[in-house]
Structure 1
Amino acid sequence: MVRTKDPAVRTMLIERAAQMLRAREPVTLCSVVAGTGLSTMAVYTYFGGMDGLWRAMRQEGFTRLARNLEAVPSSADPVRDLAALGAAYLSNALANPDLYRVMFDAGFGLEDPAASDETLQSLVHTVERAKGTGRFRQDVNALALATQSWAIGHGLVSLVSNGPLPVQALDHGAAMLAALFVSCGDDPGRCRRSVERGWRSIRDSEPFPAGQAQPTDL
């Protein structure tokens, strides 16, 4: 009889590999199972080998990001929602720093590329809502703006986590998003208020990890 795979074991191996990355330990077939009571066969059973483990780690990073973005409630103010999605992106990266780094390692594929695309599409849909309510100009390219918003968050997190910027640099994220949205046609004062509300909604409900800077008021 074929034994049923235990999802907890799969998750444990992914988490262990991520922790080893944090400690800058070599992640190998033997090292990832050392001390777990598992044999190296477990890596083949659950992932088909080490390449599969790396793909699973990338996928898990996008899965957690998608979960955090989906948890952001929609409101009648799409600009506020865009800022909240941006703050959730930063929060996810800070809470899962090792998986976040692996997410963008193009040396390995993804188990489900379509699922990872949905993380960007959540921003695209919200930009379209902002266009529909007249907050953004109709000639604004939704995919381009979503990508620019993502780039702001990714750039800040990367420069903070890998240096040379201090964690306080994350405080600039809200102001950078506001400037971007104003360039798309939003009223400056209204945009500032919307972005502040969206940024605060994530900061207040899901505080950034201890020791990390929190976004300040605009």
Structure 2
Amino acid sequence: MARTKDPAVRSLLITRAAHMLRVREPITLRSLVEGTGVSTMAVYTYFGSMDGLWRAVRQEGFRRLATRLDTVGKTRDPVRDLAALGACYISHALTEPDLYRVMFDDGFELEDPEQADRALHHLVETVQRARSAERFRADVNPLTTAMQSWAIGHGLASLVACGPLPRDTLANGIPMLTALYVSYGDDPVRCRRSVTRGWRAG
């Protein structure tokens, strides 16, 4: 009879591997399981190989990000919601710095690329709502705008979570997003108000 896999063991190995990678510890089967109470065989049991482990680590980062973005509620103000998604993205990076570092390492394949697209879909859908509400012009491309919003959040998150800048750098997200959304047709005063509310909520 096959033994039931313990999700806690899988999560433990993913978390440890991501941390070791971020702090640049040498990673071998032995060093990975050292002090965890599980054997090296667990890597093969849960992931099939070390490559399988790294795919799972990267996937887990995107899975947790999408789960966090799922918690951002929709309001009648789509521009506020866009800013809230951006702030939530940064919050994820700061609370999950190990997994965040691995998410964008394309040296590791993803287990499920479509699941990873869930995070971007949140932004695309919200841009579409802003366009429908006539906050953005009708010719605005939802995917392009979503990617530009993501780039702002990613840049700030990387500079603070993985880089040299202090947390108060994150306040720059408000004028940066405001400038982006005004360029797509939103009223400057209304936009600033919406972005500020969303940024603080996220």
- TM exceeds 0.5? yes
Kept in 1, the 8 Å contact 2:93–2:161? The answer is: no
Distance 1:94 1:200 in 2: 15
- Which segment drifts farther, 31-40 or 80-89? 31-40
- SS of match in other structure, 2:33: coil
Post-superposition offset of 1:29: 1.3
Distance 2:179 2:20 in 1: 39
Post-superposition offset of 1:22: 4.1
Residue of structure 1 equivalent to 2:146: 146
Q: Which amino acid aligns with 1:60?
A: E
- Which segment drifts farther, 111-120 or 153-162? 153-162
Structure 1 residues 76 and 192: CA distance shift in structure 2, 3 A: same
Distance 2:201 2:163 in 1: 27
- TM-score (structure 1 length as normaliser): 0.89
Kept in 1, the 8 Å contact 2:97–2:162? The answer is: no
Distance 2:84 2:161 in 1: 21
Distance 1:52 1:167 in 2: 34
- TM-score (structure 2 length as normaliser): 0.96
Kept in 1, the 8 Å contact 2:19–2:99? The answer is: no
**Is residue 20 of structure 2 the alignment partner of residue 20 of structure 1?**
yes
Post-superposition offset of 1:164: 4.1
**Is residue 170 of structure 2 the alignment partner of residue 198 of structure 1?**
no
Post-superposition offset of 1:167: 2.9
Residue of structure 2 equivalent to 1:93: 93
- Which segment drifts farther, 16-25 or 136-145? 16-25
Q: Trace 1:1-218 onto structure 2 (pairs within 5 A).
A: 1-202=1-202
- SS of match in other structure, 1:3: coil
- SS of match in other structure, 2:163: coil
- SS of match in other structure, 1:177: helix
Distance 2:140 2:116 in 1: 24
Q: Which amino acid aligns with 1:134?
A: E
- Which segment drifts farther, 17-26 or 40-49? 17-26
CA deviations over 1:88-109 (Å, ceiling 9, x no partner): 0000000001100100010111
CA deviations over 1:185-208 (Å, ceiling 9, x no partner): 000011011111111112xxxxxx
Structure 1 residues 36 and 165: CA distance shift in structure 2, 3 A: closer
Structure 1 runs of 4+ off > 6 angstroms? none
- SS of match in other structure, 1:31: helix
Kept in 1, the 8 Å contact 2:101–2:162? The answer is: no
Post-superposition offset of 1:165: 3.1
The sequence identity of aligned pairs, in percent, is: 68
Structure with more contact order per residue of length (Cα contacts < 8 Å, sep ≥ 6)? 2
CA RMSD, aligned part only?
1.2
CA deviations over 1:146-185 (Å, ceiling 9, x no partner): 0000000111122233434333221101211111000000
- Segments of structure 2 that go 5 or more residues without pairing to the other structure are none
Q: How many residues align?
A: 202
Higher helix share: 2
- Segments of structure 1 that go 5 or more residues without pairing to the other structure are 203-218
